[in-house]
Structure 1
Amino acid sequence: MKKLLVLVLLATALVAAPSATPTAAAGAGSVVLDGVTVKPRPGTRQVVTVNRTRGWRARVVFWGRHDGRWQRQFTATDGRIGYNGLVRPTRRVQGSGTTPLGTFRLPYSFGMHPQRDAWDPSYRRVRRGDYWVLDNQSAHYNRYRNRRQGGFRWRLGSSHPDSSERLKDYPQQYEWAVVTSFNRRQVKRRGGAIFLHVNGSGATAGCVSAPRWFLKRAVRRLSSGAAPVIAIGR
């Protein structure tokens, strides 16, 4: 009878035990998802993790938080990072081809397609004359701006160290793209235009990229109300 009672108690404990989750503690307020330390913001319910696998290759995963648990939504194994690898954010230099480590907000997305009713209203369609400013002499450094607004040297050629990105020049990569909060304080010469965007032919110049299907699905699911972040790890 005692053996039977022990077996019953063990079975009850196994049923009552919580199921395994893909998260692990990593310091106060942090979690580990797919081996990447994430520092969510208050209210964060969407996360994109970027785990470098080799060289400039990476695994990119979209996560959602439901009923208090992080759940993997979809995964791309053919992600890309900068051609010179990863670097701490404070050590990054403009034009270095490096991708910053850490957790960053995903404040809004942009792309070549018109807005859809089901998408987050923060989405912005690229228009003629839209640039991402990388002119170190501009007060609009590391900001989205149209040339008609002025305030930056949009005529500088692509070989100039202060040239800005004309977004229409990247119809493939920026068909769907998501802005990160890297260098939101506009520290000069640290660089910017660090996005999550569609894969090109190889490594990026510092962004994170993933296959077209991944970005298409991500842009349709991201919600500013879910305080989404991207976490980039080794």
Structure 2
Amino acid sequence: MLPEHATLPVRPHRLAIAVATCGALLLTAGCGTDEGGTASEQVAADAGAGSTEPSATAAASPSGSESASASPSASATPSDSTSPTTRATPSDAGEAGDAADGDTAGGTRPGSGTGTGTGTGTGTQPDPAPGADAPDFPVPVEAGNATQLITVEARGSYATVTAWAKGSSGWKEQFSTGSGRVGSNGVTNGATRRQGTWTTPTGTYTITEGFGVEASGTSMPYHVVTDDDWWVEDPESKFYNSMHSAQGADFPLTESGDRGSEHLIGYPTQYAKALVIDFNRWPATPGRGAGIFLHVNGSGATAGCVSVPRATMDRFMNWVEPSAHPRIAIG
């Protein structure tokens, strides 16, 4: 979000994590500003520096070495493919206000689901016993070669977000929060989703990089953003749906209008730390949506991203590892 007490021209953008008003400032909608949309949509930004989150109790999480020198442009194309999955669309539009934060250790995730998902692990781990590698994930999953998985089970604009790891005995839940948020209009089929609809795309997607206003102890490729960094959401730009600096930009350096992009440093709460969800990348189809991230909760629903309490996001950053080929499944 923007600095406190600042006012911006508004546009429907990225995760309206901003969406609810915790403070009275208006700004471009988005996870800062969700993917590009029309300038007519507005969202009240979180004026605080972050809600009070409980500290996460937790299960072992390796602390990775951080690399703050990652290139501001999108990282290399991942070799494993991803696939959107059809899912009913809740329309819980415009919900505001944070639910109570909370993280639970494995095995206490609220709610139940009927999702499917098999997936084969990679590396040198021994084969699990028959049936042990396919738990009853709460949403449809295409695990591929992932040995780390995040599931997002949406309820309108709210969600239960859970971390899973695959070991010698199969998939096990690691930790979970029932205080996640998704788009203010809920989730929609990732294969047909359009930009500016305030929805979060369903499906399974790789996670290959992160960024943030703050440094983060993660082993993922990670870029500490500066005033020069933008997430390009201009459908006419060749850099659409990637991070790019102001230098050499073929997109307007503004968050306003149909060609506006997201000035990442302007959202120190939501983008304190974030992981990029590889939706509509490699290739990026203009108009389908740009800038779908997993990031810190703002004051309400998002414009398309997935958000979690700060304590949970810190935990995800320390837990996720490139060698585990992490994926996120949204449903």
How far does residue 205 in structure 1 lie from its aligned partner after superposition? 0.3
- Inter-CA distance 33–61: structure 2 relative to 1 (3 Å threshold): farther
1:189 lines up with 2:279 in the alignment = no
Distance 1:32 1:50, change over 3 A: farther
Equivalent residue runs for 1:1-234 within 5 Å: 26=116, 29=119, 31=134, 33-42=136-145, 44-52=146-154, 54-116=155-217, 119-154=218-253, 156=254, 158-184=255-281, 185-233=283-331
Bigger Rg, structure 1 or 2: 1
The offset of 1:28, in angstroms, is: 6.2
- Structure 2 gaps, min length 5: 1-111, 121-133
Distance in 2 separating the partners of 1:25 and 1:55: 17
2:115–2:136 contact (8 Å) kept in structure 1: no
Q: Does structure 1 retain, via aligned residues, the 8 Å contact 2:114–2:138?
A: no
Aligned AA for 2:138?
G
Q: Distance in 2 between matches of 1:120 and 1:206?
A: 26
Whichever structure has more strand as a proportion of its residues is 1
3-state SS of paired residue (2:140):
strand
Coordinate RMSD, CA, aligned? 2.1
Residue type at the aligned position of 1:137:
E
Kept after mapping to 2: 8 A contact 1:25/1:32: no
Deviation per CA, 1:29-58: give whole Å up to 9, x if none. 48455421210122x111000001x32111
8 Å CA contact 1:33, 1:49 repeated in 2: no
Alpha carbons 2:194, 2:287 under 8 Å: kept: yes
Cα deviation digits, residues 80-113 of structure 1 (max 9, x gap): 0001111111321111101000000011111122
- Give CA-to-partner distance per residue, 1:48-77, whole Å, 9 cap, x none: 00001x321110001111214111111111
Q: Distance in 2 between matches of 1:93 and 1:24?
A: 26
Distance 1:135 1:191, change over 3 A: same
How far off is 1:27 after superposition?
A: 6.4
**TM-score scaled to structure 2, two decimals?**
0.59
8 Å CA contact 1:105–1:227 kept in 2: the answer is yes
Give 1 or 2: higher helix fraction. Answer: 1
Whether the aligned pair in 1 keeps the contact of 2:204 and 2:330 (CA below 8 Å) is yes
- Taking a change above 3 Å as real, the CA distance of residues 62 and 137 of structure 1, as seen in their structure-2 partners, is same
Which deviations, in whole Å up to 9, do the C-alpha atoms of 1:152-193 show, x marking residues without a partner?
222x3x330120000011110011110011001210111110
Q: What is the count of residue pairs matched by the alignment? A: 206
Alpha-carbon separation, structure 1, partners of 2:135 and 2:248: 42
State the alpha-carbon separation in 1 of the partners of residues 147 and 200 from structure 2. 24
Percent of matched pairs sharing the same residue: 39
